[in-house]
Amino acid sequence: MRKSFCLLFLFAFYLCSLGAYGQPPRQARFTSGNKSVAYEVFGDEQGGPLLIMLHGHSGPDESLYRQQAAYFAARGYTVLFLHYFDATGSTMPTNESYRDWVRTVDDLIRECKSLPRWSNRKIALLGFSLGASVALAAGSQRVAVSAIADWYGSLPDEFFMRLKGMPPLLILHDQRDGIIPIINAEQLVRLCAMEHFTCESHFYSDQSHGFMGKALEDADSRTLNFFSRFLK
């Protein structure tokens, strides 16, 4: 019985790792600084906008991220799931790490622009928790993206001070978040209003750090709607 359960679990994990159309993601690498950084490509590489997806502090092996990559790939996006920890070899969110991670996001964008099949396609960022904070930091430095979706992240303090701009931004957060408190999202909404940035937000009342069930479905729907208006 235990062996059957383990096999079923492994099969389910394998299915979660598949991209759109039941195909496994393509593995790729590029250089950022002097480090080799991995990313996985989900979906059709020949059409649709590019979506760079940034995992949270748990790292790229969390099944949720590949489920989400497959979800957006099945809806017309080429999803690039970036393993940005490769750029630092560390998961600690220090000021230096954030600078390296922002450079890595920017280097991947430049890599995309250098490839003929991707050079003319619009690019968005979708980040979860720490990955959302990296996306916000990158957006604050005017990286060349058309939109950002921030799922329960925060703009790092250093990048508040170095703010240069922000692309159209969707902020989704949990009112009961005990890891990145809701005040971070509220402050970011106020900052966007003060700076006249394009910003939309929604706060969930029944979630903690992360979305589940109906809230996850709603977050996916809001993110798709937001991206469709700024990318397609």
Tell me: the pLDDT tens digits for 90-122?
999 999 999 999 999 999 999 999 999 999 999
- What's the number of domains the chain is made of? 1
Position 15 confidence tier, pLDDT thresholds 50, 70, 90 = very low
What is the CATH classification number for the domain harbouring 172? Answer: 3.40.50.1820
Asked whether residue 13 is domain-assigned, the answer is: no
Element (H, E) at 136: helix 130-140
Asked whether residue 3 is domain-assigned, the answer is: no
DSSP 166: -
pTM of the model: 0.90
Per the CB < 8 A criterion, the answer to whether 110 and 103 are in contact is: no
Burial 91-125, CB ≥16 within 10 A → b, else e: eebeeebbbbbbbbbbbbbebbeeeeebeebbbbb
Per the CB < 8 A criterion, the answer to whether 130 and 198 are in contact is: no
Asked whether residue 168 is domain-assigned, the answer is: yes
Give the residues across from 84 on adjacent strands. Answer: none
pLDDT at 208: 86
Per the CB < 8 A criterion, the answer to whether 28 and 56 are in contact is: no
Asked whether residue 182 is domain-assigned, the answer is: yes
Stronger pLDDT, 83 or 23, i.e. the higher one: 83
Asked whether residue 209 is domain-assigned, the answer is: yes
Cβ neighbours of 171 (radius 10 Å): 24
Radius of gyration from C-alpha coordinates of the chain? 17
Per the CB < 8 A criterion, the answer to whether 124 and 148 are in contact is: yes
Q: Give the Cα separation of 41 and 29 in Å (integer).
A: 10
Asked whether residue 8 is domain-assigned, the answer is: no
pLDDT at 20: 44
Q: How many CA atoms lie within 13 A of 55 on its CB side?
A: 23
Residue 154: domain span: 22-231
Asked whether residue 61 is domain-assigned, the answer is: yes
Position 51 confidence tier, pLDDT thresholds 50, 70, 90 = very high
Asked whether residue 17 is domain-assigned, the answer is: no
Distances (CA, A) of 50 to 40, 114, 128, 147: 12, 14, 17, 11
Share of the chain above pLDDT 70, in %: 91
Per the CB < 8 A criterion, the answer to whether 16 and 9 are in contact is: no
Tokens 């703009």 found at: 155
